[in-house]
Amino acid sequence: MTHPRNQRWDLVAVLVTVAGVAVRYLPWRTVFVDGEVLWLDPDVYFHLWRARTIVENFPHVPAFDRFISFPDGAPVPWPPFLDFLVAIPGLFGAGPAAMAQWGAALIPVFGGIAVFLLYRLGSRVFDPLTGLVSAALFALMPGAAEFSYVGRVDHHALVAPVILGLFLSFLCAAEAAGAAGRALWCLAAGALAALSVSTWIVTPFLYFIPVPIAAIACLRASADAGARSAGLMTLGASAVLVTAAVFFVGDVRRHPFELYQPSLFVAAQFAVAALAAPLAAVRRRRALVLLVAAVILGAAAARFAPQILAPLREAAGVVRGEDPSYVIPMEAASVLTPWCFFYVIEHYTYVVLLWPFVATAFTIGALRRGFSVGGALAVAYVLLGSVLLFLQYRFGEYAAPALALLIGWAIAAGSRRFAAFAAGAPVPWRAWLLGTVAGVALAASFWHAPSLWRAMMNEDQTSYLRRFFRFGRELSAVLPPVDLSSGAPSYGVLTKWDDGHPLLWASGRPVIASSFGTREALAGNRVAFKALLSTDEETAYRETAKRRLRFVVVSPLLFEVEGMAAIAGVPQDFLGFHDGGEAEALPQFPRTLHARLFFGDGTSGVFKGERIAPLSHFRLAAESKSRVTRFGRTVPEFKAFEGVAGARLAGRAAPGTPVKAAVTVRTNTGRDFAYRRETEADAGGEYELTVPYSTLGGRMPAGAAGPYRITVGTETLEQHVAESDVLEGRIVTLP
C-alpha cells in the first residue's frame, strides 16, 4: 500500500495534471467556431485526411497516397497510430465532422498523461517534490504545451507520453523485486516500444538510452540473476513487439520500410539483446559479447539497410534515382541560429538560461552518487534532451520533458538547501529575504508565459483557415470529379505549400505541394514553386499540363517567397523586406505567374509600375468572397484558375494592322473585369490570338458574360468561342 504522504503527493500531481490539460485547452474558442472544427496547423489536416482513408480502406492501412505529391503520389511520412485514433468514430459509422471533433479534443489528454508520467518518473528517480515541480513546469511551459494544444492533432503530441512511459517501465522493470512484477514491466516497456515505432519514425533513436544502461546494470549487478538480467529482459520483450510493429505499419507491397529504417537498427539490437537476456544470469562475459554484437549488427543494419531493401523496392516498383538537389532549405535555416535560441527562450521562458549551470551540477551530483539505473537514465535523457532543444527547436517534444526534469530537480534541491540554511541561520530574516529575492527572480523568468496563454485563448488563430475552408468547400462543389478508373487521379491542383493539405481535406482533390520534408514532397514543391514564380507563361503551362495539374489556387504570398525560391532553385529577386518587416515588390515580382493571377486576374494591366501581359492558358474559375489588401491593392483572398490550351482566334488583315480581342468576365461573386488581348497582323497578313475563355458551354462559376469583341483596324465584330475550342486548342477562323 502506498504511504499516506505519497497519496497526498499523488493528489497534488493529479491537480497539476488537470491544470496542464486546462492550459492545453486554451485555444478552444478558435478551434470550435460556429459549429465547425478547425485544427490549428495546416499540416495536421493530412492526419484527418488519412483517418478518412483508413475508414474507407479498413482493415488495410494505406502507406502510399496518390492524392499527395501529385501526380506520382508519395509514401505517408509517418506511422499510422495517431491516424487510427482519429479514425475511431469513423470506424463506428460517424462522419468526418465527428472525427475532427474527436481528434481535436483528444490531443490535450496526451499532454496530461505526459505531465503525470513525468511526475512519476521524477518521484521514482529522485523524490516526490522533484517529480511534482518537474510536472508543474512541463504542464505550464508554453513550449511544452504547444505540441498538445487542442486542435493541434499531430503525432508529435504522442512522443512525450510514450517515451516517458517507456523510461518509467524500463526503470520499474530494472528495480522490480519479484519475477512476476519484472515480467509485467518488461512487457509494458516492450508494448510502449512497439507503440513508439507506430507513432513517429524518429522516436526509436531514444531507445539508445536504455541499451547501454542495461548493459552496465548487467555487468555491475550482484549475484541476483533476476536483477542482473532485468534490463536485458526489457529489451528482449521489446524486440518481438517492435519488430511486429514494424511489419504491421509497413506496407511491403508499396512501401517496404522505406521510412522505417531507424527501427531496423533498434529491432536488430533488441533481437540480440533477447538472446543475451537468459545468458546474463550465467555468464556476464558472454552477455557483454552479445551486446557488443547487437550494437555492431544494428549499426550494420542502419548502414546497409538501403542495399538490403533494394530488391524489395525493385520488386515493388518504387525505385527512384537519387536527386542531388534534395535539400530542405527551411529546415536548415532553423538549425543552430540565434533565431532558434530566442525561440527557445520565448517558448520555454528565461529559466532556460540556467541550463548550463544546472546541467553541470546535475551531472556532477549523479557521478558522485555512483551508478544507478534511475540516475543513469535521468542523466542520459536530460543531457540528450537539452542538446536537442538548443540544436533544433522542433525537437521540443523530445526535449521539453528533459528540460522540465532538469529545472525541477534544481528548484527542488535549491528549496531543500534553502530550508536547511534558513533553519540554522543566525539571522533568519536575512535568509528569508534571500529566499524571497530568489523566488521573485525565478517567477520573473516566467513573466511572459501568461501573455502567451492569453494569446492562445483570445487571438483568432484559425481565421485564415476558416476562410480558406469556406473557399475549398465551394470549390469541391464546382470542380469536376476526380476519375480514378486508371488507378491514378485524373487531375490535381497546384497550391502553395501551406494550402495543400487543407485544400486536400476541404475539396478532396489531389495536390502537388505540401509542407512535408520528404524527397517526394520536395520534388512536388519544386515543380509547384517553379510554376508560381515563373515569368514565362508558356513554360509554366507546359510543365503543369504535363503533370495534369488542371487547376491553380493562388492565395496571398509574402514571407513564403524566400523559401519557395530556395526550393525552386531560382534567385529570390521578387520581394524585398525592410527592417520593420514591411515587404516591397521588386520589378521581377509582377512578372511571376502568381502575381499575374492573384493581382491581375490573368488579364493585361499595370502593377507596381510594371506592365502585365495577359495570360493565354489560365482562366479564372472561382474566387472567394473574402478580400485582402497587398501592395496597395484590395483583391479576392483566394482564386482558382483553370489551365487550358486556349482557343486560337485567327484571321487575315493588312500587314501591321492592330488586332484586339476583349470579353467581359463575370465572377462567382458578381465582380466584372475585362479580359483583353492584342497583336498585329504579320508581314504575310495573318494574325492569331490565343484566348482562355469560352463564351458557349462554360462550366465554371466564373466565365465570359458575352461574346468576344474583336477589333481589326477600324472594324469591330463579335465572336463566340465554344468550350471544346478552348479545351482542345482549336483554331477559330474569324471572318
pLDDT in tens, 193-231: 767 777 776 665 666 676 666 656 655 554 344 444 555
Q: What integer best gives the mean pLDDT of the chain?
A: 77
State the Cα–Cα distance between residues 379 and 370, nearest whole angstrom: 12
Other beta carbons less than 10 A from residue 654's beta carbon: 9
State the Cα–Cα distance between residues 574 and 586, nearest whole angstrom: 5
What three-state secondary structure class fits 662? strand
Can you give the pLDDT at residue 435?
64
Strand partners for 549:
492
Cis peptide before 692 (omega within 30 of 0): no
State the Cα–Cα distance between residues 101 and 104, nearest whole angstrom: 5
Judged against a pLDDT cut of 80, whether residue 688 lies above it is answered with yes
Provide DSSP, 301-343. Answer: HHHHHHHHHHHHHHHHT------TT---HHHHHTBS-HHHHHH
Can you give the pLDDT at residue 288?
54
The pLDDT tens digits for 425-436 are 565 655 566 666
Interacting residues of 347 by C-beta distance below 8 A, sequence separation 6+: 141, 142, 143, 146, 393, 396, 452
For 598, what's the count of Cα atoms within 13 Å in the CB-facing half-sphere? 26
Least confident of 127-136, 276-285, 351-360, 559-568: 276-285
- What does DSSP say about strands 647-652 and 627-630: parallel, antiparallel, or unpaired? unpaired
Can you give the pLDDT at residue 62?
78
Task: Give the confidence band of 365 by pLDDT, cuts at 50, 70, 90.
Answer: confident
State the Cα–Cα distance between residues 199 and 205, nearest whole angstrom: 13
Interacting residues of 357 by C-beta distance below 8 A, sequence separation 6+: none
The residue type of 705 is A
Closest CA to 287 of 232, 368, 348, 351: 232
Can you give the pLDDT at residue 334?
39
Least confident of 148-157, 384-393, 695-704: 384-393
What three-state secondary structure class fits 647? strand
Interacting residues of 327 by C-beta distance below 8 A, sequence separation 6+: 522, 566, 567
Are 676 and 614 within 8 A, CB to CB? yes
Can you give the pLDDT at residue 218?
58
Are 169 and 189 within 8 A, CB to CB? yes
Can you give the pLDDT at residue 724?
93
Task: Give the confidence band of 676 by pLDDT, cuts at 50, 70, 90.
Answer: very high
Judged against a pLDDT cut of 90, whether residue 366 lies above it is answered with no
Can you give the pLDDT at residue 220?
58
232: its cell numbers: 536485458
Sign of CA dihedral 79, 264, 335, 351: positive
State the Cα–Cα distance between residues 302 and 314, nearest whole angstrom: 19
- What does DSSP say about strands 64-65 and 686-691: parallel, antiparallel, or unpaired? unpaired
Percent with pLDDT over 70 in the chain: 72
Are 732 and 661 within 8 A, CB to CB? no
Can you give the pLDDT at residue 192?
79
Closest CA to 667 of 636, 622, 613: 622
Sign of CA dihedral 450, 455, 457, 461: negative
What three-state secondary structure class fits 64? strand
Can you give the pLDDT at residue 406?
86
How many Å is the maximal CA-CA distance in the chain?
A: 110
Are 644 and 703 within 8 A, CB to CB? no
Judged against a pLDDT cut of 60, whether residue 700 lies above it is answered with yes
The residue type of 25 is Y
Provide DSSP, 92-114. Answer: TT--HHHHHHHHHHHHHHHHHHH
What three-state secondary structure class fits 628? strand
How does DSSP classify residue 44? Answer: G
Task: Give the confidence band of 438 by pLDDT, cuts at 50, 70, 90.
Answer: low
Strand partners for 605:
612
State the Cα–Cα distance between residues 503 and 109, nearest whole angstrom: 28
How does DSSP classify residue 39? Answer: -
Element (H, E) at 620: strand 618-623
Judged against a pLDDT cut of 60, whether residue 437 lies above it is answered with yes
Task: Give the confidence band of 675 by pLDDT, cuts at 50, 70, 90.
Answer: very high
Are 70 and 510 within 8 A, CB to CB? yes
- What does DSSP say about strands 647-652 and 583-585: parallel, antiparallel, or unpaired? unpaired
Sign of CA dihedral 305, 311, 312, 317: positive
Interacting residues of 726 by C-beta distance below 8 A, sequence separation 6+: 619, 644, 645, 646, 647, 691, 692, 693, 694
Q: What's the whole-model pTM score?
A: 0.80
Least confident of 199-208, 263-272, 448-457: 263-272
State the Cα–Cα distance between residues 218 and 27, nearest whole angstrom: 48
The pLDDT tens digits for 547-572 are 999 999 999 887 778 778 888 888 77
Can you give the pLDDT at residue 451?
73
- What does DSSP say about strands 672-680 and 686-691: parallel, antiparallel, or unpaired? unpaired
Least confident of 16-25, 122-131, 512-521, 683-692: 512-521
Task: Give the confidence band of 156 by pLDDT, cuts at 50, 70, 90.
Answer: confident
State the Cα–Cα distance between residues 416 and 440, nearest whole angstrom: 17
Judged against a pLDDT cut of 80, whether residue 517 lies above it is answered with no
Binning the chain into helix, strand and coil, the percentages to the nearest 5 are: 60, 15, 30
Are 641 and 624 within 8 A, CB to CB? no
Q: 397 vs 545, which has greater pLDDT? A: 545
Task: Give the confidence band of 486 by pLDDT, cuts at 50, 70, 90.
Answer: confident
Percent with pLDDT over 90 in the chain: 29
How does DSSP classify residue 178? Answer: S
The pLDDT tens digits for 598-615 are 998 998 888 777 788 899
Place of cell 489551365: 643
Phi and psi at 170, nearest 5°, equal -60, -45
Are 349 and 403 within 8 A, CB to CB? no
Judged against a pLDDT cut of 50, whether residue 539 lies above it is answered with yes
| Length of the chain (residues) | 735
Are 594 and 582 within 8 A, CB to CB? no
Q: Which pairs from 716-722 meet CB under 8 Å and 24+ separation?
A: 719/649, 720/695, 720/696, 721/647, 721/649, 721/691, 721/693, 721/694, 721/695, 721/696, 722/647, 722/694, 722/696, 722/697
